[in-house]
Structure 1
Amino acid sequence: MRKLFICLLLFVFFISGTLQKKGKRTIKAQMNCSKAVPQPRTFKGDPVSWIKYTLNGTQAPISTHSHSALQSLSNITIEYLRGPLSTRVIPIFYMLVVAVGIPANIAILCLLVTKVRKVSSAILYCSLAVSDLLLLISLFFKAHYHLHGNHWVLGEPACRVVSACFYGNLYCSALTLACISVKRYMAVVYPFTYKSLPKRTFTAWVSVAVWGVFGAAIIPELLVEQSYWLPELNRTTCHDVLPLDYSSHIFLLYYNLGLTVFSLLMPLVVTVVCFARIIRELSRSHYDWAMYIKASSLVFGIFVVCFLPAGVLHFLHYLQLFVNGAESLYVYFNLAVCLCCLHACLDPFLFILMSKSAGSKLYVMTFKGKTLSISL
């Protein structure tokens, strides 16, 4: 793990040096004009400061539009908002995830309510299913937005709520999966401690803490304006383009970066460590541990496939913004977020695997030659 951590640091420094070299001229130009200012995680635009804006040869009064206006869009922003990637590929993927994920998670909730064997496990899986459902509902509105040419027609309050639920539940799901990994890690590596813990109380408080992180993640998104009219494209975007010089949005940069590190990257590290220790401990056992390995492997796979690309690209996007002000990685980040949403379809299979292993027990040898049975 120490070697892996050193390699990760070297990789980040390498990327930082590469971006620094590419953006050297850009940074000098910015320093000559004005002091460098941090930018939001999305595409950026400048607030329109004049009364009328020329559109298709005619002047459209800004004051008659219900949303604030942004201008000076980059070519990357325009291509993304007009292109088939954001108007066809991403929304179709979202709708497929919604079509599979909503029935699956509703079925899991029904099973949890009617057939509860272990309350502590049921609390975690119920929390995960509710989080997935909120994410899937927000995906439905985001698909509607993309299919309409990235034009938001549901108003500013709805945009704030959808953006908040979308990102907040990504963090909530990642933390819940990490908690499931820690629970299984404790049962396998420290069985005596796990056996003596008040698991229901601990699990309930952990779930409350996770949803507290969800609340902390959505509050800034609810307080800050998210939808803006783009006169250059004659459409209103939701969260995709934000102003550069608004102090509230500058605050979001640091806030979202902290959430990325503590709610995506740290749960990933925790899951990797737990997975490695579980494999190591179970490989020493003479009993059947295949089902536990499959369940732990699925949690690990969900993190690697779904959360790792989004977390790394989100971090590198911020790094690129700081170094040379470029925003090209936001396109790839949106693609990674599509993979991230896929976990809402995979989590029900995790519950099924856990349920299959619930009837059997893990046996751990004690120092006196006796065995201790642990139900996960």
Structure 2
Amino acid sequence: MANLLPGLLICLLAVQTIQHDGNRTWTKTKTKGPPAIPKTFRGRTSKLNHTNSWLNVTSEDQVTAYTTGLLSTWVIPSSYILAMLVGIPSNGYILTFLRLKAKSYSTAVLYLNLALSDLLLLLSLALRVHYHFNGNDWIFGEISCRLFTALFYGNVYCSAQTIACISLKRYLAVVKPFLYRRLAKTTLAVWACLVVWFLYGAAIVPELLVKQSYHLTQLRITTCHDVLPLDETSHSLLVPYRLMLVVLGFIVPFLICIYAHVAVVYHLGQSHCDWRPFIRVSTLVFVIFVVCFLPSGILHFAHYIRLFCKEDGRLYGYYRVAVCLCCFHSCLDPFLCMLISRTAASELQFISFHGMPQRPAVMM
């Protein structure tokens, strides 16, 4: 599985590169302007009857190449469909049956929270699949565009934060077992989930407050989130806001996961018990997390840095490809949770560095 995901990312990036080259050839034959590069396009808005906002884009060739290209009209929606077919039933199963099988309430709370976040993320893809297959033409109205955009980005980072909480719990169980036993684990797990959802609510508010769908006069389509007038006052704060969202929603949880995983592997390696099966499974779960979240986090941050400093959004297409891996992680989470649970449950006791047997702490 760990080898499959990097291969999938390479294939998706290859499709993006092929489309980029094809768009360059198409532009050279049609116009003498710059090559067509998928990006977050800028435009000037105009009002029609004081109700509908329209965008007049300055680079029609580039917008046409992206909205009609293979990447946005076939590869991305097909990836979303695959993630939904696998992830919705599996996360639904976790929500239904995990509370009956979990060995501790704190474990159940965290994994149920992760399953709920993943399920909301996958459900938010439904209308976007239609949007991409429909030539990137949004027909469901402005309110639904804002709502589904907020759900998508909010739940991506909500999943990463919940995984960080699970990693921190595992770190305490292994590295600080005496402290871990004294903690009110269920209460702390509930509070951790509440904090995650509070941050989730605060993160999606800006997406709900600004207009997300704009009609492109030249192409006669209505885009959702992909084309925004970032030069206008109403949208000017979106770029620094999203940079902050990447830092708090991805970079901080990612650093927590790295530290927790390294510390857990080191401490288990120092014990007199054979923890190699658990270490291998834990490492597999960590590698899959890195493969799925790291590309999108890096590209998202780099994209908005370039957009903020140089008004250059050429990384946007690559970022949209990398986001597909986050969706795949959401559909893999239930299987990874069950795998690491069974591996941890197969061990009978935890041995400290000094060779003194201890009562096992909960390894979840």
TM bracket (short chain): 0.7 to 0.9
Asked if 1:71 is matched to 2:56, the reply is: yes
Give the deviation of 1:362 after TM superposition: 4.3
% same residue:
48
Q: Matched residues in 2 for 1:105 and 1:150: separation? A: 28
Residue number in structure 1 paired with 2:141:
155
SS in 2 for 1:186: helix
Deviations 1:125-161 (A, max 9, x none): 0000000110011111111110100000111111111
- Give unmatched runs, 5+ long, in structure 1: 1-40, 50-61
Asked if 1:106 is matched to 2:104, the reply is: no
**Preserved contact between residue 152 and residue 236 of structure 1 (Cα < 8 Å):** yes
Asked if 1:259 is matched to 2:257, the reply is: no
**Preserved contact between residue 349 and residue 357 of structure 2 (Cα < 8 Å):** no
SS in 2 for 1:373: coil
Q: Matched residues in 2 for 1:284 and 1:124: separation? A: 28
Q: Matched residues in 2 for 1:369 and 1:133: separation? A: 43
Trace 1:44-83 onto structure 2 (pairs within 5 A).
44-48=42-46, 62-63=48-49, 67-74=52-59, 75-83=61-69
Residue number in structure 1 paired with 2:260:
274
Which aligned runs of 4 or more in structure 1 are off by greater than 6 angstroms?
none
**Preserved contact between residue 365 and residue 372 of structure 1 (Cα < 8 Å):** no
**Preserved contact between residue 46 and residue 55 of structure 2 (Cα < 8 Å):** yes
Deviations 1:291-314 (A, max 9, x none): 432442233123311110011001
Q: Matched residues in 2 for 1:269 and 1:105: separation? A: 26
Q: Matched residues in 2 for 1:73 and 1:145: separation? A: 23
Residue number in structure 1 paired with 2:11:
none
Q: Matched residues in 1 for 2:56 and 2:92: separation? A: 43
Give the deviation of 1:46 after TM superposition: 1.6
Give the deviation of 1:73 after TM superposition: 4.2
Deviations 1:59-104 (A, max 9, x none): xxx449x641111243433311121110111101100110111011
Is the alpha carbon distance of 1:114 and 1:331 closer, same or farther for their aligned partners in structure 2, counting shifts above 3 Å?
A: same
**Preserved contact between residue 47 and residue 70 of structure 1 (Cα < 8 Å):** yes
Q: Matched residues in 2 for 1:369 and 1:270: separation? A: 29
Q: Matched residues in 2 for 1:208 and 1:372: separation? A: 30
| TM-score scaled by length of structure 1 | 0.81
- Give unmatched runs, 5+ long, in structure 2: 1-38
Asked if 1:316 is matched to 2:302, the reply is: yes
Return the letter of the residue paired with 1:209.
Answer: V
Residue number in structure 2 paired with 1:232:
218
Residue number in structure 1 paired with 2:41:
43
**Preserved contact between residue 224 and residue 249 of structure 1 (Cα < 8 Å):** yes
Is the alpha carbon distance of 1:193 and 1:73 closer, same or farther for their aligned partners in structure 2, counting shifts above 3 Å?
A: farther
Q: Residue 195 of structure 2 is aligned with which of 202, 209, 233?
A: 209
SS in 1 for 2:42: strand
Asked if 1:164 is matched to 2:162, the reply is: no
Higher mean alpha-carbon deviation, 301-310 vs 161-170, is at: 301-310
| TM-score scaled by length of structure 2 | 0.84
Q: Matched residues in 1 for 2:355 and 2:252: separation? A: 38
Asked if 1:192 is matched to 2:178, the reply is: yes
SS in 2 for 1:374: coil
**Preserved contact between residue 181 and residue 296 of structure 1 (Cα < 8 Å):** no
Residue number in structure 2 paired with 1:287:
273
What root-mean-square deviation, in Å, do the aligned CA atoms of Structure 1 and Structure 2 show? 1.9
Q: Matched residues in 2 for 1:67 and 1:152: separation? A: 14
Higher mean alpha-carbon deviation, 160-169 vs 286-295, is at: 286-295
Q: Matched residues in 2 for 1:355 and 1:111: separation? A: 14
Residue number in structure 2 paired with 1:360:
347
Give the deviation of 1:245 after TM superposition: 2.7
Q: Residue 121 of structure 2 is aligned with which of 135, 154, 161?
A: 135
Q: Matched residues in 1 for 2:58 and 2:120: separation? A: 32
Higher mean alpha-carbon deviation, 73-82 vs 312-321, is at: 73-82
Q: Matched residues in 2 for 1:197 and 1:361: separation? A: 22
Q: Residue 374 of structure 1 is aligned with which of 348, 353, 361?
A: 361
Give the deviation of 1:195 after TM superposition: 1.4
Give the deviation of 1:360 after TM superposition: 3.3
Q: Matched residues in 2 for 1:197 and 1:156: separation? A: 46
SS in 2 for 1:229: strand
Residue number in structure 2 paired with 1:87:
73
Give the deviation of 1:227 after TM superposition: 0.6
SS in 2 for 1:283: helix
Give the deviation of 1:347 after TM superposition: 0.3
**Preserved contact between residue 82 and residue 149 of structure 1 (Cα < 8 Å):** yes
Residue number in structure 2 paired with 1:52:
none
Return the letter of the residue paired with 2:330.
Answer: A
Is the alpha carbon distance of 1:362 and 1:231 closer, same or farther for their aligned partners in structure 2, counting shifts above 3 Å?
A: farther
Return the letter of the residue paired with 2:144.
Answer: A
SS in 2 for 1:236: strand
Deviations 1:162-189 (A, max 9, x none): 0010000001000011111111111111
